[in-house]
Amino acid sequence: MIIPALDIIQNKIVRLYQGDYNLIKYYDYNIHDMLEQYQLLGVKTVHLVDLDGARNPRLKQKSFFRDIINYFPDYIQVAGGIRDERDIDYFLSLGVKRVVIGSSVIQNIETVKKWIKYYGNEYIVVALDIQIDKNNIKKVFIHGWKQDTGKKIEDILQELLSVQIKYVLCTDISRDGTLSGPNFRLYQEMIHQFQNINFQASGGVSSIDDLSKLKTIGIHDVIIGKGLLENKFTILEAMQCWQNELFHVLT
């Protein structure tokens, strides 16, 4: 599935470069209009990120997100500063499609495993942001991609298999917001090792060819931000490419 992404700071659409809040680019789009257009064109899910909440959970844009989710029920995959049951209950009660859990996976994985079992693996997405060293060690980072957790993504995913984790959003930090192309090797290795997980690829998508390659290697979903905002291709072109590749895979 193609999933457009909109990152929000102070009710404005933005993109960060490699997660750096000092490198913000603002886009003069109306969020409501964009969501409505995506819906009319057949998009099934939009990834909406509260970057204020991600940086500081006390600064969540709750009222703004509430208004959007109320207008677009069962359509939003929401991320940013979701740290406890109150946050999950709040967003699920509003009618989000899924909630994305990031830092808590590292800080309290046993609690996150309980959430997955309690709420159901259809409603929880685990987000793991990684940096890859010269030895191909995939290290997970948290807190705005500034803190090295010392943990490898493979070890975390192996533990989450015990609760049948279904959705994992995997981002190569070095590619995010760069339009430099996805890390195909990373996703090939993850899909090969964890065949029962539906991976969401994020970071670097800049062309239709990128989408074709991701589909070919078996990625379940692709989250696209800057590529769409900067008109590298249209959402219709992306969706058509995805359907064409799906047809080739099935035949």
Residues noted as catalytic: 7, 129
CA distances (Å), origin 94, targets 39, 97, 142, 164, 165: 18, 10, 27, 25, 23
> Which of 52, 14, 9 has the alpha carbon at shortest distance from 176?
14
DSSP conformation letters of 127-185: EEEEEE-TT--EEEEETTTTEEEEEEHHHHHHHHGGGT--EEEEEEGGGTTT-S---HH
> Which of 196, 143, 137, 131 has the alpha carbon at shortest distance from 168?
196
Contact 88, 82 (CB under 8 A): yes
Indicate the DSSP class of residue 201. E
Other Cβ atoms closer than 10 A to 192: 10
DSSP conformation letters of 203-232: S---SHHHHHHHHHHT-SEEEESHHHHTTS
> 């064109």: which residue's tokens?
41
